[in-house]
Structure 1
């Protein structure tokens, strides 16, 4: 069975429409790093670093937005005609990640924690800065988005040129 891939222009249009729809329905910009911080804040109530903004409880739209990301992926996988299975196959990244499944899992958890820390430090994630802040033409968000993508480009080139 072949995999259908959306055209880049169509996927970009859908993402842009989602950003507008989310702002229209919720009255606040989309973004998941605040939800991540709020989730950590619910677990570690004594660490004030994670308590951001007005949302500090379970009735938090950004927290539900964050929960919806993996939930939507799970629903999509379960509705797929192909059988679903857990895999640690990362394509071209297999050359630079550890070879054992446990090593990959540890590396990815560390990377995810660093992404969360960086997003909290920057005041938003790539969704918040590049998509929402970019759509609003917010200068700090445009700069942050440019730095995010340029650092990802440089890091990828360094990793794959070194191997």
Structure 2
């Protein structure tokens, strides 16, 4: 009887440890996946940018639904909790299509530690058209160039505190495409 109680205690302890471990987001990828209720599989983390709120992570993903054939580009606002864990705050995505670009402007609403609601605007997307050499948007009330991040998977961009319209320009500074007002 004493052995059965001891074994039961060990089993309960192991179950408790597995539950706690299963609830942690030890990587940004896990935090994003769990934040989207496992609707997506994160393919790649493209870039990370530290902000006053937390870390903005630009990523690519694929939907877990078999009918969802488009790869996506998105961002997530994450906050570091302790040494390992990441807390998912908010996220948004857009599909990467066969168009010359895929873009989105999003205004995140989040609560601060003291309960105030704040806004964080972000412009992000994917550029396919090789003639597009520059992306611009209104950043802190000034038109600024947004860095195009070149990877072996494609060309991506994102900018915190950016408002639309997002303009896509060629080498001569002429607008090729435009997203937003």
- Under a length normalisation based on structure 2, what TM-score does the superposition of the two structures give? 0.18
Higher relative contact order (CA 8 A, sep 6+): 1
Structure number with the higher helix fraction is 1
Structure number with the higher strand fraction is 2
State the structure with more CA Rg: 2
